[in-house]
Structure 1
Amino acid sequence: MSLPRGYLRSPMAWASALMLASLVLLALAAPLLWGVAADRPDPSAVLQGPSAAHPFGTDNLGRDVLARVLTATRPSLLPALAAALLGATGGVLLGAATAVVGRRSRRVLSALINLLLAFPALLIALFLAVVFGAGEAGAVLALAVAGVPGFARLAQTLAAAVAGTDHLAAARVLGLRRHRLLWRHVLPNIAEPLLLAATTAAGTALVALSGLSFLGLGVQPPGYDWGQLLNQGLDRIYADPLPALAPGLAILYAALTFQLLGEVLAGRVAHRGPADRTPAPPPAPSGPAEDGPVLQVEDLCVELPTPDGVIRPVRGVSLSLRPGEIVGLVGESGSGKSLTALAVADLLPDRARVSRRTMRLLGADLAAMTPKERDRHLATGLATVFQNPASALNPSLRIATQLTEAVRAHRGASRAEAAAQAADALRRVHLPPALLRSRPHQLSGGQRQRVMIASGLMVRPALIIADEPTTALDVTVQRQIIRLLSEIRRETSAAILFISHDIALVGEFCERVLVMYAGTVVETLPADRLADATRHPYTRALVESVPDLTADRDRALPTVEGPPPDPLAPAPGCPFEPRCPRRLDRCAEQAPPLDGPDPAHRVACWNPVPVAVAAVPS
């Protein structure tokens, strides 16, 4: 592996590289150069002090202390590295697994980690060293087990941040198995702090292993390491401190080397996820009804438990989309738009409870499928464009890997076929195929959003859910994304559910509009009627709050007066009643149904705005 650019410009990098090289050189060459002197007793030179022949003196058998310290480099470092590696591997797998397992397994793993952390690591190491028996193997296993809880807690904390990302949720819907989620999406994104912890743990394991050898629980005679040499030199420390000082300095030097190495590598290492070389078999056909709606949802409800009680952010939502249709979903923040989309895509958090009377995608009843069948059907029939592409794209994987993942997992495409399809998908969103070699942080916000759209096109979806796809973009890029979605709709006949706060943009881009308030749909109407034929007071207020060039600059823009309803204490009547200027006594007691004489224009209001009045500008 080549060193990153600028690596050797750092003094700390130079120091750690030289110190590590010296340890490696000693571990390899010391037994050859000084092994004989270290093991050869000399009765005429027993317990001698420092001299030209023996710079650090001799031990009780006349062996040269300096030669023994140098020769002990290998038997001191290798067991410490083995203990750190075993402990790090077990702890990282245990902690990172909490991001990919189910809710019950996550609770069990978290409880196990908390239980292991309740005992001091040193106490565990001493206890297990006695249980496993005195010797090098027992000491290594004891230190490895003692190091597992610390790595597990660190990995659990880091993996929790990855578990909430959009790209991991999308990978679940792709049907990736848990071990692939772990190796591809979790571990690469938490590797840097874990690398620092592992190199630091190597130094800690060296000190601990030397301590066990000092106590007689580690390396046993005739073998020796720095800990045992320190024990032997301790008997004469007051008369001649050098035999004890030499192994102590060696331990300090090696521990400092690992610490510096961890600091350097943690800031320089480049992430790269493992390649997936095993294509999944193609999915079985779902048998969609070609002439029916792409999506049909009836009476969708979502419940979320909170410490203060259960809230229902989505209540009785019904919607349908035909092939090639663009439907807008608008409303204030907290009205339930995004949760509705996430419920359709099966991306809600584990604690959420979803109920519906009907939910069909491409004619297939999602409720009648097994979880694996549902994930595969959603992964191939539906694509989601998230509001924040920086979170939706895995920062550790190249664009090529992320674009080809779905077709390789669900279409059975080979690596070459998937790469060709990915290049074609980038061309369709007006991006050069050269970006396949890039990572998300190397792209602009508009390019990342286009990559998200290209990723969805890879499986040729019949439905695209665009959840605020233009919110974080400037006006010019917003228009480009809107034009791109329009082109894709014309070319593929895919239905688009477009979620946005911008009611003016929805009126321009969409064919039909659903207006949500407090988790319910309060009005559905054709988009060309938004400007002058809205009937619900809430929709009318949203339209009036949109500024235009003819607005009086001296007058404040109209706003919807009053706060939104409390989700923990929903009113029995119309949720908009406290803020509605046209409220009646009946509105506080009974919620109005979504109805109307025109099937294309329905409104949930007991006292809707008359069309003649609605057409008059306020």
Structure 2
Amino acid sequence: MKRSLLVLILLFLVLAAVGPVLAGPAADRVDVAGLLQGPSSRHWLGTDHMGRDILAQILVASRLSLGSAVAATALAAVIGVAIGSASLARRVGPLFTAVLNVLVAFPSLLLAIFFAVIFGVGAQGAVLAVGVAMAPSFGRLIQTLGASVMASDYVSAARLLGLRHSRVLTGYVLPNVAEPLMLSLTFAAGNALVVMSGLSFLGLGVQLPDYDWGQLLQSGLSQIYTAPAAALGPAVAIMLAGMTLSMAGEHGAVAASGVRRALSSTARRARSPLPAVPEEATVAEARGLRVTFPDSGGRPVTVVDGVDLSIGKGERVGLVGESGSGKSITALALAGLVPHPGQVTADSLSVSKVNVLDVRRSERDLKGRVAMVFQDATRAMNPVLRVGTQIAEASAGHDVVKALRSLKVANPALRARQYPHQLSGGTLQRAMIAMALTAEPDLLIADEPTTALDMTVQRATLQVLLEAVTESGSALLFISHDIAVVSGICERLVVMYAGGVVEDLPVRLLPGGAAHPYTAALLATLPSLDADRAAPLPVIPGSLPAAGSAGTGCAFAPRCPRAAERCLSERPPLAGLAPGHRTACWYPLEGVA
């Protein structure tokens, strides 16, 4: 099948190249004695109304027919990619999305006829008309696939490292959609050939003395009953060429890998150094942080409610809680990465004295100040870029091999040349940490970075992370549901429940110094080597309330053994118990240090 397809493609390429040269004289030779003849040994498909050989005309028309289709497809791809890429931009995206929504509502043939009238009849006008008419399909493809890529962890990491939107598009989005784009190009070329021929058939395309297959089909239609070969010849050419291009689309993904590599090796980002960060004690601060998402009916649902959090320079803070407690959303809000349609409000929200709520300024000044290490390294690394390339993008002045070696990656020179799928989970996680730290961020956010690793690799990776953060001087916000892991590397523990902070205390006070019943319950669920193996594992009874359904009282009250009537009706504030220790509980545990 592939060999036959290749033969057909080569045949059409040869026809387009040499057809006009070899068959041109016969196609232009007028024979008044042989007008409108049927097929014969001299004229296999007969002659037209001027006695010219129809087969020779089909061969000559192959260059203009195929060339116009390719030109229209290329124009459609350029316009469509531009519109689709613009629709992914934060500011002008809604406008271009609205334009796409309107254009894709109309069939491409109808749009081609409309634009052919605007651009004028002729080959050039037809190319422009078909190119513009087919552009919305490419725009929608880039918008749909690009939106999923833009929502990926590795794009979020790239944005935090300071990459411009244009670099994210050329280095991250387009290479990852290159294969379906190539597939669509070949299908679109076949469609463009049919539409171009249709315009010529209707008299809106190629005009005499030039001719393409569509015009030959229209001329031969008058002989359909006396000499059907005159019409069937160009019709078969259109059908065969269109089918060949469509079938080539099924194998177009192979060629896309070359395009992907070319796109991924485009010009490297020139990143100007950020202004010096003032020597202040606080790196990140949130006051009254609130994040909402609309439900299916459009009503706002609060997932983070009134969070107060501060992180000092070089401090290691752990953020713990059950899944769904709002840990990751809080971290994303600090980094300015809460996905649409989430809404972030706060009394104040800043990182390195940059107001995160000021979108225009935070996009410009926050990049490079915050870096993020995600839970799943295979999703957080761009699959089409080499590991070394991604690390180098974090900071052009860093030695990639040295950065990997500092994270104790074995054979760092080889790993830098490999793609993410060629690395093990632990090595890939270390490479992601290296990429984050080479940007020299003021704040490193690690969102459950070792959950997907086995215990041995997890311990080694955590030790490497701790050493790297200590050496770099970056503040660390470590997110986990495992309070034991956090206690091993952090200095301070912030416990979240149902979107709010319920306790903030130094790690040195654990385990006996926990004041909130929820913190104590988390500690009680930790396995112990001397525990009775026959006894059931300790659990926290009940379940986390759904987002926005905690009510007016303490969210933990339905699961708390110490809950009283006041807990059900009044929400306790986050109040100080001792220096550096705060809890949100009406009846905190006794014996707090």
TM-score bracket, shorter-length normalisation: over 0.9
Residue of structure 2 equivalent to 1:77: 66
Post-superposition shift, 1:332?
A: 0.7
Cα distance change of structure 1 residues 235 and 377 upon mapping to structure 2, 3 Å threshold: closer
Cα distance change of structure 1 residues 262 and 541 upon mapping to structure 2, 3 Å threshold: same
Residue of structure 2 equivalent to 1:320: 310
- Partners of 2:333 and 2:118 in 1: how far apart? 52
Within-5 A mapping of 1:152-171: 152-171=139-158
Of 177, 188, 192, the match for 2:175: 188
Post-superposition shift, 1:175?
A: 4.0
Residue of structure 2 equivalent to 1:481: 461
Structure 1 residue 230 corresponds to structure 2 residue 210: no
Post-superposition shift, 1:277?
A: 4.1
Of 250-259 and 442-451, more deviation after overlay is shown by 442-451
Of 479, 489, 498, the match for 1:509: 489
Residue of structure 1 equivalent to 2:271: 280
Aligned AA (1:187): L
Structure 1 residue 338 corresponds to structure 2 residue 328: yes
Residue of structure 2 equivalent to 1:445: 425
Residue of structure 1 equivalent to 2:403: 425
Deviations 1:290-326 (A, max 9, x none): xx23334333332333345223322232333344432
Within-5 A mapping of 1:16-415: 16-102=5-91, 105-270=92-257, 271-272=260-261, 273-277=264-268, 279-289=270-280, 292-308=281-297, 309-362=299-352, 364-366=353-355, 371=359, 373-375=361-363, 377-408=365-396
Post-superposition shift, 1:350?
A: 4.0
Aligned AA (2:540): V
Aligned AA (1:468): E
Cα distance change of structure 1 residues 379 and 179 upon mapping to structure 2, 3 Å threshold: closer
CA contact (8 A) 1:174 1:376 kept: no
- Partners of 2:405 and 2:526 in 1: how far apart? 35
Of 545, 548, 562, the match for 1:582: 562
Residue of structure 1 equivalent to 2:583: 603
User: Quick one: percent identity of the two aligned structures?
Assistant: 47
Aligned AA (1:95): G
Deviations 1:368-415 (A, max 9, x none): 9x645534543333221111222222222222332122324xxxxxxx
- Partners of 1:434 and 1:288 in 2: how far apart? 39
Post-superposition shift, 1:355?
A: 3.3
Residue of structure 2 equivalent to 1:550: 530
**What's the secondary structure of 2:251's corresponding residue?**
helix
Aligned AA (1:325): E
Structure 1 residue 497 corresponds to structure 2 residue 477: yes
CA contact (8 A) 1:203 1:259 kept: yes
Deviations 1:524-547 (A, max 9, x none): 233243333322111111111222
Cα distance change of structure 1 residues 321 and 476 upon mapping to structure 2, 3 Å threshold: same
- Partners of 1:116 and 1:264 in 2: how far apart? 29
- Partners of 1:588 and 1:367 in 2: how far apart? 34
Residue of structure 1 equivalent to 2:437: 457
- Normalised by the length of structure 1, the TM-score is 0.89
CA contact (8 A) 2:318 2:480 kept: yes
CA contact (8 A) 1:100 1:163 kept: no
Superposed CA RMSD in Å reads: 2.3
Post-superposition shift, 1:158?
A: 1.2
**What's the secondary structure of 1:384's corresponding residue?**
strand
Deviations 1:408-456 (A, max 9, x none): 4xxxxxxxx44xx222111111221222222222222222211210111
Post-superposition shift, 1:590?
A: 2.1
| Ranges in structure 1 where 5+ consecutive residues have no aligned partner | 1-10, 409-416
CA contact (8 A) 2:553 2:568 kept: yes
Aligned AA (1:283): L
- Partners of 2:480 and 2:574 in 1: how far apart? 21
Aligned length: 586
- Partners of 2:119 and 2:361 in 1: how far apart? 48
Deviations 1:15-49 (A, max 9, x none): 33221111111111112212111111122322223
